[in-house]
Amino acid sequence: MSSTNSMHAHQEVQRLPIHKIRPAPERHYFGHDNLHKLAERLQAFGLIEPIVVKRVGDVFEIVSGKRRWLAAQYLGWRSIDAHIQDA
C-alpha cells in the first residue's frame, strides 16, 4: 500500500456539495490552459482520486486537490468525492 493510500485508509470517502468547500488561505496560481486540460480529463474519466478536506465550522477547507475542485467547478459539478481529514 502506498503512503497516499495508507494516509486515507481510515478515512471514508463522502460526496460533498461543491459550495460547502473552500480553498485553503494560501494562494496558488493555476494557468487557465492547465485547468482546462484537467477539466477535460475529469469529463472523460471522472474523478479518480478524491480531494482531501478538513472541516472548518460549517464548511470544508481543501487540504489536497484544489485543482481538481476548480476543474469540477468549471465543469458545473454540484458535488465532489472527498476524504474528510480528522481535526
Q: Looking at residue 67, what is its pLDDT? A: 92
The domain in which residue 24 lies consists of: 3-85
Q: Looking at residue 12, what is its pLDDT? A: 81
Calculate mean pLDDT across residues 28-40: 80
If one counts the domains in the chain, the total is 1
**CATH code, domain with 16:** 3.90.1530.10
In the predicted structure, residue 32 carries a pLDDT above the cut 80:
no
In the predicted structure, residue 65 carries a pLDDT above the cut 90:
yes
In the predicted structure, residue 25 carries a pLDDT above the cut 90:
no
Q: Where are the beta strands (DSSP E) in 23-85?
A: 51-56, 59-64, 79-85
C-alpha 11/C-alpha 52 separation (Å) is 10
Q: pTM for the whole thing?
A: 0.79
